[in-house]
Amino acid sequence: MQSLEKRITEEGIVLPGGILKVGSFLNHQLDPQLFHEMALEFHKAFGDLAVTKILTIEASGIGIASITGLVFGCKVLFAKKSRTANLSGEFYTQEVTSYTHGNSRQIIVERQFLNADDRVLVIDDFLANGAATDGLIGICSQAKAHVVGVGIAIEKAFQPGGESLRKRGIKLLSLARIESMDAEKGIVFCKD
Amino acid sequence: MQSLEKRITEEGIVLPGGILKVGSFLNHQLDPQLFHEMALEFHKAFGDLAVTKILTIEASGIGIASITGLVFGCKVLFAKKSRTANLSGEFYTQEVTSYTHGNSRQIIVERQFLNADDRVLVIDDFLANGAATDGLIGICSQAKAHVVGVGIAIEKAFQPGGESLRKRGIKLLSLARIESMDAEKGIVFCKD
């Protein structure tokens, strides 16, 4: 998606440790107009697949997922990273290991909001090693919900998450795919 | 807002400890179509006030704020509850005590995303004691940004947050105002 690649090129900052900072439009400050364009791209790819629910993970997936849900006309569900006082009932939980942060945590979804009738589009801001995405797919497996596909804003294509999803036959649309990035050499996108 | 009050009445569950569970449409599962209706109400109230930025707090404010930003045509900024690896630069921080989580923590906003030229609409899902809202207003004060108003989905009018904002002359629109709630007697809305 050209407008997204342009924003990444103009505003993205590569930090040490393979971190891409896009806080000016994607995950701290948010650009809802850009998210709407992204949602329309997701709808082109997944709009015919009878999606009943968008699933994402807090916090930075929520903005994109909400506007995608508005375009799809379906509800959005976000997995929580901690158990809050306003959660009750039965849960699906899944262990997610963050390679970047070097820690592991449970993500949580209330059972009543996801079931075997659901056709789920998983949405997230980043796909790198795929831990968060795999965690969300694992939640869907527990619920016996069907994952129709995965929609990602930025895939770090030099990390194995995207390839792993494709090999497993999961339909994946990443709106920007980064081939390589380096604080000095800048950001290079995949040409496919 | 009638459609919101209807949803609260039909789907809301009052839990012990004064907690209203509205996870089916507001803060776990999200209803983007309802959020769009809410955003239009916020736009009726604040649309003439030259808003340049929507400010909210992660996680459950982000969905409403994103769709409100889409309607207003401006960017959205969410205060973070923890310092993540992709934050850098200078910050505004503010101490916030959470009623739901039963703890106190710093909320964080990068300085570069909020400044004296900004006219800010603060958006959140709940207003009870006003701790989160006051924290966001405090962040705006630090940035010398002008708070044009506060837009809330559900105000617990039996707690002091809303009254405190009104007394300080801050324009507040709460789309549903709960006068009282009780697990047995149910939820009663303010009639004004």
| Distance linking the first and last C-alpha atoms of chain A | 11
Predicted pLDDT at B180: 96
Q: Give yes or no for A110 touching B (CB within 8 A).
A: yes
Note whether B156 and B126 are within 8 A (CB).
yes
CATH of B33-177, one of 1.10.287.3510, 3.40.50.720, 3.40.50.2020, 3.20.20.70: 3.40.50.2020
Q: Give yes or no for A58 touching B (CB within 8 A).
A: yes
Predicted pLDDT at B37: 98
| Distance linking the first and last C-alpha atoms of chain B | 11
Taking 70 as the threshold, does the pLDDT of residue A100 lie above it? no
Nearest C-alpha of chain A: how many angstroms from B12?
Answer: 11
CB contacts of A101 in chain B (<8 Å) are 85
Predicted pLDDT at A88: 66
CB contacts of B55 in chain A (<8 Å) are none
Dihedral of the CA atoms A91, A95, A98, A102 (nearest 10)? 120
According to the per-residue pLDDT averaged within each range, which of A81-85, A156-160, B188-192 is highest? A156-160
Both structure tokens of B67 = 């769709």
CA distance A56 to A67: 12
CATH 3.30.1360.10 corresponds to the domain A32-179 = no
Q: What residues 35-54 of chain A have any CB closer than 8 A to a CB of chain B?
A: 35-36
Tell me the mean pLDDT in the region B163-186: 96
Both structure tokens of B109 = 């906003």
Helix (H, G, I), strand (E, B) or coil at B57: strand
The answer to whether the CB atoms of A77 and B36 lie below 8 A apart is: no
Of A45-54, B10-19, B58-67, B118-127, the one with minimum mean pLDDT is B10-19
Predicted pLDDT at B97: 83
Q: How many CB pairs under 8 A join A and B?
A: 146
pLDDT band at A180 (very low <50, low <70, confident <90, very high): very high
Both structure tokens of A80 = 């929580």
The answer to whether the CB atoms of A59 and B58 lie below 8 A apart is: yes
Between A84 and A102, the more confident residue is A102
Q: What residues 69-98 of chain B have any CB closer than 8 A to a CB of chain A?
A: 69-70, 73, 75-78, 80, 85-88
Q: How far is CA A191 from CA A38, A176, B136, in A?
A: 19, 10, 42
Best B57, B62, B87 residue to mutate vs chain A (most A CBs within 10 Å): B62
Note whether B190 and B163 are within 8 A (CB).
no
Taking 90 as the threshold, does the pLDDT of residue A69 lie above it? yes
Of A147-151, A188-192, B64-68, the one with minimum mean pLDDT is A188-192
CA distance B35 to A88: 23
Nearest C-alpha of chain B: how many angstroms from A78?
Answer: 6
Best B34, B70, B108, B111 residue to mutate vs chain A (most A CBs within 10 Å): B70
Nearest C-alpha of chain A: how many angstroms from B192?
Answer: 28
CA distance B182 to B191: 18
Nearest C-alpha of chain A: how many angstroms from B146?
Answer: 18
pLDDT per position as a tens digit, B63-73: 999 999 999 99
Predicted pLDDT at B88: 66
Between B36, B59, B112, which is nearest A59 by CB?
B59
Strand locations in B59-156, DSSP E? 75-79, 91-98, 103-110, 119-127, 146-156
Q: Give yes or no for A103 touching B (CB within 8 A).
A: no
Q: How far is CA B112 from CA A19, B65, B117, B150, in A?
A: 19, 19, 12, 22
pLDDT per position as a tens digit, B97-133: 876 667 888 999 999 999 999 999 999 999 999 999 9
The answer to whether the CB atoms of B100 and A84 lie below 8 A apart is: yes
Say what the ipTM of the complex is. 0.96
The DSSP string of A107-144 is EEEEGGG--TT-EEEEEEEEESS-HHHHHHHHHHHHHT
Tell me the mean pLDDT in the region B42-56: 98
Nearest C-alpha of chain A: how many angstroms from B47?
Answer: 16
